[in-house]
Amino acid sequence: MEEVIRIEGGHTLNGTIRVSGAKNATVALIPASVLATKPVRLVGIPNISDVKSLKKCLEYLEIDVSSTLSDEIYIDPSHMVNKPLDIEAVSKLRASYYFMGALLGKYRKVIIKMPGGCNLGPRPIDLHIKGFEALGAKVDYTNDTYTITADRLKGTRIYLDFASVGATINIIMAAVYAEGRTVIENAAREPEIIDVITLLNKMGASIKGAGTNVITIDGVKELGGCFHEIIPDRIEAGTFMILAAAMADHVTLENVIPYHLDALMSKLKEAGVHIDSKIDYVDIYRSDKLKAVDIKTSPYPGFATDLQAPLSSLLTQATGISTVTETIYPERFKHCEQLRKMGANTSVTYPKATIIGKTPLVGTDVWATDLRCGAGMVVAGLLAEGITTIHDIYHIDRGYENLDGKLQEIGAKIWRETID
Ligand code: EPU
């Protein structure tokens, strides 16, 4: 038995969608909360399975977790116990690696299984490890398990060879209780990092430089509780912009910070999509005359790697030759194979895909090989003639809250079925 998503393509979309809280901020904010000694209340939590996995990790660490609203989580770490994180929930997502920085920072010791997550080609964590070692930790990796310990953590200067989101956040968390000053150079600048720093500073940390590539952390003795509202999900918003550019007469996205999406919006406009952005909402109208564009992914504020798969589906409908060059995950092109099954004219020579359009797409069986490939298949299914069946939808449910329900509300023919 397997649950699949089915889409009958060709229906026009119309209406308003509310964007949820940012997945990639949430999955760092939840582990960051364990650094506190008092309760932390987070609102804007998306209802996705990655959050469920992280809650299991919190409960395993004997942290009180509750919620009164559906998008809220109340985390009380006052009586937590630092146990080895060797449970299955850890392996369900990449972001469980944030417990490394958080538990090391708070207890000087963490034991954790190798985290899982989407298969996007090689995803090393050497920069995280080098950062912990620079702060004074010893790292052992045996039987798929990291044991990271430190007698003391001492602030230092850390230069990241690549502006890694995960390494930046993990080093910040390991450094908040360290003695003295830590400076991270070539830090990543993603909005989700700013959100984590905002939370930590509300808890009492002393972190400067959020949103720049030099972040300074002055160690403190204690972090208290706080209330924090999570930023909107720029990747979910971007996915809806692309969906709307494919099929909307007029779709409005609410709860958006448009400047987080400048790179995508400028590419969509270049392709001929009509977009009107205001302070916290965006109107999008489909274009029947899409033009080919060239995309190159890069760290924020560049074009987000997480949006290249959904955009690739749209580009099958653009006239001319589009190229997508991936500088973050050079092998993140599994969606191209799925698009070919639907009739797309696309070829891949790592790290670049070429899409020649416009070609009609025809519904068939496709696989969500990872989260954003899944989003790409939804875009393709809406565009295709006939019925598209998407398999392995647990990837989609890891990172998009109620994607099919939100699309039904604006007129998409999309539903779930259980098949043998
Ligand atoms: N890298 C290293 N060594 C490291 C860390 C990263 O070589 O120690 C390399 C990676 O292999 C990759 C590049 O640096 O080539 C960027 O990796 P980064 O650390 O920035 O990515 P991440 O923290 O693992 C987060 C998001 C991803 C998103 C990337 C890039 C989370 C949980 N994940 O991953 O999101 O693609 O940043 O923006 O925040 C997704 O949401 O679908 C997703 C994969």
Domain final residue, candidates 214, 229, 244: 229
Greatest Cα-to-Cα distance within the chain, rounded to the nearest angstrom = 63
C-alpha span between 8 and 194 (Å, rounded): 39
Q: What is the pLDDT of residues 338-366, one digit of tens each?
A: 999 999 999 999 999 999 999 999 999 99
Average pLDDT of the chain to the nearest whole number = 97
Q: What is the 3-state secondary structure (H, E, C) of the chain?
A: CEEEEEEECCCCEEEEEECCECHHHHHHHHHHHCCCCCCEEEECCCCCHHHHHHHHHHHHCCCEEECCCCCEEEEECCCCCCCCECCHHHHHCHHHHHHHHHHHHHHCEEEEECCCCCCCCCCCCHHHHHHHHHCCCEEEEECCEEEEECCCCECCEEECCCCCHHHHHHHHHHHCCCECEEEEECCCCCHHHHHHHHHHHHHCCEEECCCCCEEEEECCCCCCCEEEECCECHHHHHHHHHHHHHHEEEEEEECCCHHHHHHHHHHHHHHCCEEEECCCEEEEECCCCCECCEEEECCCCCECHHHHHHHHHHHCCCEEEEEEECCCCCCCCHHHHHHHHCCCEEEEECCEEEEEECCCCECCEEECCCHHHHHHHHHHHHHCECEEEEECCHHHHHHCCCHHHHHHHCCCEEEEEEEC
- Nearest C-alpha to atom 12 of ligand 1 is from which residue? 328
CA of 167 to the centre of ligand 1 (A): 9
Q: In what order do the strands lie in the sheet with 294-296?
A: 294-296, 320-325, 352-357, 345-349
Are 152 and 197 part of one and the same domain? yes
Please tell me which residue in 57, 118, 336, 373 is annotated as part of the active site: 118
Domain final residue, candidates 196, 229, 262: 229
335 CB near ligand 1 (under 6 Å) = no
Are 57 and 140 part of one and the same domain? yes
**Which residues sit opposite 54 in a β-bridge?**
none
326 CB near ligand 1 (under 6 Å) = no
Residue 336 falls in the annotated catalytic set? no
Query: Tokens 């400067």 — which residue?
Result: 208
Angle at which helices 98-107 and 126-134 pack, to 10 degrees? 10
CA of 201 to the centre of ligand 1 (A): 24
**Which residues sit opposite 3 in a β-bridge?**
418
Is the pLDDT at 336 greater than 90? The verdict is yes
Q: For position 192, what pLDDT does the model report?
A: 98
Are 191 and 222 part of one and the same domain? yes
C-alpha span between 212 and 184 (Å, rounded): 10
- Nearest C-alpha to atom 18 of ligand 1 is from which residue? 164
368 CB near ligand 1 (under 6 Å) = no
Are 9 and 131 part of one and the same domain? no
Q: What is the pLDDT of residues 140-192, one digit of tens each?
A: 999 989 999 999 999 999 999 999 999 999 999 999 999 999 999 999 999 99
Q: How many domains does the chain have?
A: 2
306 CB near ligand 1 (under 6 Å) = yes
Is the pTM of the predicted complex or chain greater than 0.85?
Answer: yes
Query: Counting every residue, how long is the chain?
Result: 420
Are 180 and 165 part of one and the same domain? yes
Domain final residue, candidates 213, 229, 245: 229
Residue type at 325 in one-letter notation: T
409 CB near ligand 1 (under 6 Å) = no
Q: For position 119, what pLDDT does the model report?
A: 76
What average pLDDT does the segment 200-205 reach? 98
> Which residue out of 162, 192, 194, 296 has the highest number of ligand 1 atoms within 8 Å of its CB and is therefore the one to mutate?
162
Burial 60-77 (b: 16+ CB within 10 A, else e): bbebebeeeeebebbbbb
166 CB near ligand 1 (under 6 Å) = yes
Are 257 and 275 part of one and the same domain? yes
Are 257 and 176 part of one and the same domain? no
C-alpha span between 415 and 244 (Å, rounded): 18
Residue span of the structural domain in which 35 resides: 23-229
Is the pLDDT at 33 greater than 90? The verdict is yes
Are 52 and 181 part of one and the same domain? yes
309 CB near ligand 1 (under 6 Å) = no
Are 243 and 375 part of one and the same domain? yes
- From the alpha carbon of 117, which atom of ligand 1 is closest? 44
Burial 272-299 (b: 16+ CB within 10 A, else e): bbebebeeebbbbebbeebebbebebeb
Are 222 and 316 part of one and the same domain? no
Are 106 and 217 part of one and the same domain? yes
Q: What CATH code is carried by the domain that includes residue 219?
A: 3.65.10.10
Instruction: For residue 288, name the pLDDT band (cuts at 50, 70, 90).
Output: confident
Are 392 and 354 part of one and the same domain? yes
CA of 163 to the centre of ligand 1 (A): 9
At a CB cut-off of 8 Å and minimum separation 6, what does 110 contact?
82, 85, 99, 100, 103, 104, 146, 147, 148, 149
Q: What is the pLDDT of residues 112-132, one digit of tens each?
A: 998 877 777 778 899 999 999
